[in-house]
Amino acid sequence: MGKPRPVCALACILFLWGQGMLMAKVEATSSVHIVYLGGKQHDDPILTTNSHHDMLASVVGSKEMAAELMVYSYKHGFSGFAAKLTESQAQKLSELPGVIRVIPNSLHRLQTTRSWDFLGLPSHSPVNILHNSSMGDGVIIGVLDTGIWPESKAFSDEGLGPIPSHWKGVCESGTGFKAKSHCNRKIIGARWFVDGFLAEYGQPLNTSENSEFLSPRDANGHGTHTASTAAGNFVDNVSYRGLGLGTIRGGAPRAQLAIYKVCWNVLGGQCSSADILKAFDEAIHDGVDVLSLSIGSSIPLFSDVDERDGIATGSFHAVAKGITVVCGAANDGPSAQTVQNTAPWILTVAASSMDRAFPTPITLGNNKTFQGKGLYSGNDTGFRSLFYPEAEGLDPNLSGVCQALAVDASTVAGKVVLCFTSLTLGAVRSASEGGEGSGWSRPDVAAPGVNILAATSPLGRFQEGGYAILSGTSMATPHVSGIVALLKAAHPDWSPAAIKSSIHGEIIHQVFHYLLKDLLPKLADTFDYGGGIVNPNGAANPGPGATNSIYRVMIEPPFGTSVSVKPNVLVFNHGTKKITFTVTVTTAHQVNTEFSFGSLTWTDGVHIVRSPLSVRAEFLQPYFL
């Protein structure tokens, strides 16, 4: 074999070096873009991918170059592709028919269920109450609801410690539920109560429309959703039809669950007061630390503590035994005096939104695209009719018009329904409103309750793969229940009153100043959100803090009033651990007024303890015998 010619070797070297220069130049001027095409035009993923290559080739010059630049072809849930493009290529693609938008690639951090990050409890942070409480380890949350779907990964006992020694409850078998296999170190107790319902109403529990189990198993899905929101374990790669992809978990993922099935899958979910009271009775005996109820009663009640209300009665005895009871304010608002579960010993929760939405672009016939929000990830490619609901007396530019009209499915079938909404960040939903008639303000606090992704029963409505995105005070309530479990783990000596006080005093308030309520053109106020959005980390350390602490008052007087506080400085030391102060409110009003709102806040520069003020002038008519 002869020696290779030097000129050939040199030519090869120059060729390879030239290719390297060419590639370096391309890499320096191109970046990954996402070309979004909306719904699929083909069910065959191969045809979809081929169409992506054809589209890209029309801009870059050849199918070979298109194949080289293509990063991903999105061909199953929707249509689109990611490719390395120059700015000019991206611009050309954006102008092609069928292209909805071209988006520069960006870096995203894998997130947990967004509501807990919104509340300041990311699982990766070592300095919040989630980790300071060992994620609720050793605390038992009792859930009164529609039962549980035990096979869900959210109820795995991986990473959990032993069953707490103070637990005295049982796990009961029944239809489709075996105690030995379906209970574990996460679901440590499961009972079901139906005798009161059957005795009173005699409704069949299995119909052609709704299935049900005479056991703790959940056919509805509501109870599974609330239980997993409060104390579900970590589950990776969860989404609802591709929305909200990430790791879900409950507020206290290391807490244990005791399930008390008191609601049945009849007429949308019905619960007997007799059964509820029996569940309270057993839960007190069993040794739960927290009780969570996303259940309401028929309104109006005769008084704030109605003797007919089984929840008020049962919760009173639970609180007396040291069990914190958390209940939803219900969803009958936004009119005044629609809050339920108003007994002063109950921690009553309103629902708020959070800083996350699911964008849903809509392209009109004139090719204009509007960015909306909705739980939709379909594959529509053609045009549909646009339905814009209107209602007399309601501003169509405010959200809630669709709900107010109670639009039925036959009216909107096959159409796109357009509704306007309020802002996303921390908006208060039209769940329920408190107000006059009591010596205390309701609800206590607000928590995320809009678009909450959690586990559910695979038999439930609106679920996919055992998970669902639901909204309401039912979803807000277990957020607070999970936070209560964290506080109980971090401060086992705290009473229900101390826990309630810490949550009520340490809140996130300022976000409400700019928000409209869903249906009415007015700012949301204390009767809508209580003290504000719950602040778990603040509640864990409410003060007074150091032995020698000085608190000064800040006053935001309600409109038309003057507020004074004596003393206006509180000095705590070794000898003074409790101080009483007096609040005086005066007004120049000479006629009856509506409520106005303000606040009274004590702070030492670190801790903030805020109390909302709700004031109105009311002149009583003289009464003569």
By the 8 A CB rule, do 311 and 297 touch?
yes
- CB burial of 590-613 (b: ≥16 within 10 Å; e: otherwise) equals eeebebbbbbbbbebeebbbbebb
Say whether 504 is catalytic: no
Kindly list the distances between the CA atom of residue 206 and the CA atoms of 213, 542, 609, in Å, as whole numbers in the listed order.
8, 49, 51
Residue type, 441: S
CA 324 to chain centre: 21
Instruction: Sort 339 into a burial class: Cβ within 10 Å, 0-12 / 13-18 / 19+.
Output: buried
Which residue is catalytic, options 297, 474, 502, 599?
474
Name the phi and psi angles at 44, rounded to 5: -80, 115
Pairing assessment for the beta strands 416-417 and 386-387 based on DSSP bridges: parallel
Kindly list the distances between the CA atom of residue 61 and the CA atoms of 57, 79, 201, in Å, as whole numbers in the listed order.
5, 22, 73
Tokens of 105: 């690639």
DSSP 523: B
Which residue is catalytic, options 33, 53, 222, 504?
222
**Cα-Cα-Cα-Cα dihedral of 389, 391, 394, 398, to 10°?**
-10
CA–CA separation, 180 and 148 (whole Å): 15
Residue type, 446: A
By the 8 A CB rule, do 587 and 562 touch?
yes
Say whether 491 is catalytic: no
Kindly list the distances between the CA atom of residue 507 and the CA atoms of 93, 512, 530, 595, in Å, as whole numbers in the listed order.
48, 12, 10, 22
Q: Residue 81's CB: how many other CB atoms inside 10 A?
A: 25
Which residue is catalytic, options 51, 79, 117, 145?
145
CA–CA separation, 55 and 32 (whole Å): 16
CA–CA separation, 426 and 510 (whole Å): 9
Cβ contacts of 126-133, under 8 Å, gap ≥ 24: 128/536, 128/537, 129/483, 129/486, 129/487, 129/490, 129/536, 129/537, 129/539, 129/540, 130/486, 130/536, 132/490, 132/540, 133/252, 133/485, 133/486, 133/487, 133/489, 133/490, 133/540
Residue type, 464: E
Q: Looking at the DSSP assignment, which residues form a beta bridge with residue 112?
A: 247
Say whether 474 is catalytic: yes
Question: Considering only CA atoms, which of 553, 607, 610 is closest in space to residue 582?
Answer: 553
Q: Which residues are catalytic?
A: 145, 222, 474
